[in-house]
Amino acid sequence: PAEEKAQLLQNSEYQERMVESTFLYLTLDLPTAPLYKDEKEQLIIPQVPLFSILAKFNGSTEKEYKTYKENFLKRFQLTRLPPYLIFCIKRFTKNNFFVEKNPTIVNFPITNVDLREYLSEEVQAAHAHTTYDLIANIVHDGKPSEGSYRIHVLHHGTGKWYELQDLQVTDILPQMITLSEAYIQIWKRREEDDTNQQQGA
């Protein structure tokens, strides 16, 4: 009821609090992977756009957190954009018995990811450059306990992408990078010089 709600909102435990904290990387949560099969009895690999999981940082999307003591809601918003951003796509969840891996593919563009909408209007004015390009992509293949890692790296001088696994280095097409189970990504903010360079290329 409205009256009870108004009373509860007066209590300190229901008050909204704002905390500013620094971050090393941004954790992106994947939606729960469906467990159904298609007509050919093959497991369907779910997909999600990068911008859907980035919505966590738009300042209005609420995420529920549960502890053994309490439940609370959090909203996140970016207040500054650094020269480099690290995304950690949360693929692994641990329960009491084992670690599970979410195989959802994240669909993302390699260049021109604009994060302006994740900043408040006042903060937007202070940021001339809000566009990022991918420069490295770490992939996890296989099961959580016995999987392997591959790294996709952009060679800045040539603009070519390479795949590294152990001591093996091979060329890779940019469109193949987006088909992998990305785990950690490093993005570089595009400055004025980078824009002019890409336009001239």
End-to-end CA distance of the chain: 63
Residue 4, pLDDT score:
82
Tokens 């298609």 sit on residue: 38
Residue 12, pLDDT score:
72
pTM recorded for the entire structure = 0.82
Q: What is the pLDDT of residues 160-198, one digit of tens each?
A: 999 999 899 999 999 999 998 999 999 999 987 554 444
* Residues 130 and 81 sit within 8 Å (Cβ to Cβ): yes
Angle at 146 (CA atoms; ends 41, 54), nearest 5 degrees: 70
Residue 194, pLDDT score:
58
- Alpha-carbon gap, residue 37 to 41, rounded angstroms: 5
Regions of the chain short of the pLDDT cut 50: 195-201
Structural domains of the chain, with CATH: 23-33+44-190 (3.90.70.10)
Residue type, 119: L
Residue 200, pLDDT score:
41
